[in-house]
Amino acid sequence: MTTTGGEVRTDTQSGMARVAAASFVGTAVEYYDFFLFGTAAALIFGGLFFPGADPLSGTLLSFATFGVGFFARPLGGIIAGHLGDRIGRKKTLVATLLLMGTSTTAVGLLPSYEVIGAWAPIALVALRLLQGLGVGGEWGGAALLAVEHAPPARRGFYGSWPQMGIPAGLLLSSGAFALVSALPQEDFISWGWRLPFIASSILVIIGLYIRAKISEPPAFKEIMEASEQVKRPLVEVLRKHPRDVAVIAGIRFADNVLYYVFATFGLAYMTTQLGLPRSVALAGVLVASAIELVTMPLFGALSDRIGRRHVVVMGTALMLLLAFPFFWLVGTGEQWAVILACVLALAGAHSMVFAPLSAWFAELFSADIRYTGVSVGYQMGSLLAGAPAPILATYLVSVNDGAYWPVSAMVIAAGIVTLVAAYAARDNAKAALDAPTNPRHQDEMTTT
């Protein structure tokens, strides 16, 4: 491993391992913050910030606040993509991490409706929007940090490391809530739920320290040294790659619905509809997230051998098979059945459909517009599939007297969208991620 100005480079396996760790830790912190809000929306926000509503309506309103973050994600992706393709991946990732950490800590300090009235839900929505901006720009940069540094034959494996940050974030957020849920109910509601949000500030400092020593990926560094950044990367992406953006958004239906139905909505369904203890529901998500930290790199490596599309299609097929059995298992109320359902859905199906995406999406764009391309497509998928998933699932259960079959039908529909998009997308697993600029970009160039 060699260094320049104290920065880690990837001349050796140990250097590449540090880059993978940096992409993993930063993403884990970002999604700890993002999922923390989702867990709180399912378990606590309804009564604290929407106290006039009945329990079901309060859950719907808190999930609507949760969904607001998704509407900010495409904008965050556009802004971060522009900056990442103009001034660099590293500086942009520092900004997204700071934005997310600051807004999450502020949620933990926010007074409830009882204290400041209507300003409480207004401030909650505003902070959720800031979270959405931060996480909207995070994934694209973290994915490129790993994939653009990786050896060509191992892009799927190393690209799975920022993906691993997402179950790690869910594991941390669910674990934090499991710990504070052990407090007496009165203490949990009055101050205990705030502790995981405030703890975000510590995780952000750790993430910033680890990322500070990582250099720009070689492909983009070459562009910067030649002062050949694209002037308007979003325009270039939409003009030259509309199909790629569309198929990326479509491919993301499966992983979004898997996560936000089986994890976020699943928590509310198990506690509100089935009356299971919070500890039982959280245990299933915790175990599944821990196992996914192992299965994610395995499926990423598998995509290096058999192609990105094949792994995603296998995961989507498992998702379709689980659409009804997931609810049969959790409906038993048995701890083992809840854990099995979550493991199959998250560590199995979700891991397969999600692990190859960093490499697959990065391989669709040239280095000069790659941050914008992957961020816009990825976040559009989050907006179209992730944002409505827990809200629509909660609504469907409420208007069907607690029946889960409409949610299962929604899961199947999302899986079909992903299958269509996966077969429409190019699988460029063997393509080079080179830096040279194509002459067709010359009209978009500017010097810096």
- Confidence (pLDDT) at 60: 63
The answer to whether the Cα torsion of 322, 376, 130, 200 is positive or negative is positive
Span 333-377, pLDDT tens digits? 899 999 999 999 999 999 999 999 999 999 999 888 999 999 999
Taking 60 as the threshold, does the pLDDT of residue 446 lie above it? Answer: no
Please report whether residue 67 resides in a domain. Answer: yes
- Any domain includes 26: yes
Distance in angstroms (rounded) separating the CA atoms of residues 329 and 334: 8
Rounded CA-CA distance 357/368 in Å is: 19
- Confidence category of residue 448, pLDDT binned at 50, 70, 90: very low
Range of the domain at 37: 7-444
Residue 1 lies in a domain: no
> What local confidence, expressed as pLDDT, does residue 215 receive?
80
Evaluate whether residue 165 is within a structural domain. yes
Asked if residue 122 has pLDDT above 80, the reply is: yes
pLDDT at position 367, please? 86
> What's residue 171's pLDDT?
82
163 in any annotated domain: yes
For residue 180, pLDDT over 80 is answered with yes
Asked if residue 354 belongs to a domain, the reply is yes
Q: Is 113 exposed, middle or buried (0-12, 13-18, 19+ CB in 10 A)?
A: middle
| 234 located within any domain | yes
CATH of the domain at 389: 1.20.1250.20
* Higher per-residue confidence, 432 vs 448: 432
pLDDT of residue 207: 81
State the average pLDDT for the chain.
Answer: 83
Q: Is residue 2 part of a domain?
A: no
**Minimal CA–CA distance to 41: which of 204, 193, 185, 188?**
193
Tokens of 54: 């009945």
Token duo for residue 151: 């050896």
Does the pLDDT of residue 443 top 80, yes or no?
no
pLDDT at position 145 over 90: no
CA pair distance 148, 2, nearest whole angstrom: 17
Burial of 123 (0-12, 13-18, 19+ CB in 10 A): middle
**pLDDT interval class at 326 (50, 70, 90):** very high
Structural domains in the chain (count): 1
Residue 212 has pLDDT above 80, yes or no: no
Spatial separation of the C-alpha atoms in residues 363 and 380, rounded to whole Å: 18
Q: Using an 8 Å Cβ cutoff, are 289 and 174 in contact?
A: yes
**pLDDT tens for residues 249-269?**
999 999 998 887 887 788 778
What is the average pLDDT across 91-104? Answer: 87
So what's the pLDDT on residue 442?
40
Higher pLDDT, 292 or 39: 292
Q: What is the mean pLDDT of residues 101-110?
A: 88
Q: Name the residue with higher pLDDT: 305 or 263.
A: 305
Element housing 3 (H / E): strand 3-4
Confidence at residue 6, expressed as pLDDT on a 0 to 100 scale: 52
Q: Tell me which residue of 388, 318, 323 sits closest to 70, measured CA to CA.
A: 388
Over residues 19-77, the pLDDT tens digits come to 888 888 878 887 787 778 777 776 677 667 766 655 555 566 666 666 677 778 888 98
pLDDT at 386: 78
pLDDT of residue 445: 38
Residue 304 has pLDDT above 90, yes or no: yes
Phi, psi for residue 432 in degrees, rounded to 5? -85, 140
Residue 119: per-residue pLDDT: 83
Average of per-residue pLDDT across 435-441: 41
Q: Which residue has the higher pLDDT, 239 or 70?
A: 239
Q: Which residue has the higher pLDDT, 118 or 205?
A: 205
In tens, the pLDDT along 8-21 reads 545 556 678 888 88
Tokens at residue 204, please?
């952000």
Cβ neighbours around 337 below 10 Å, total: 15
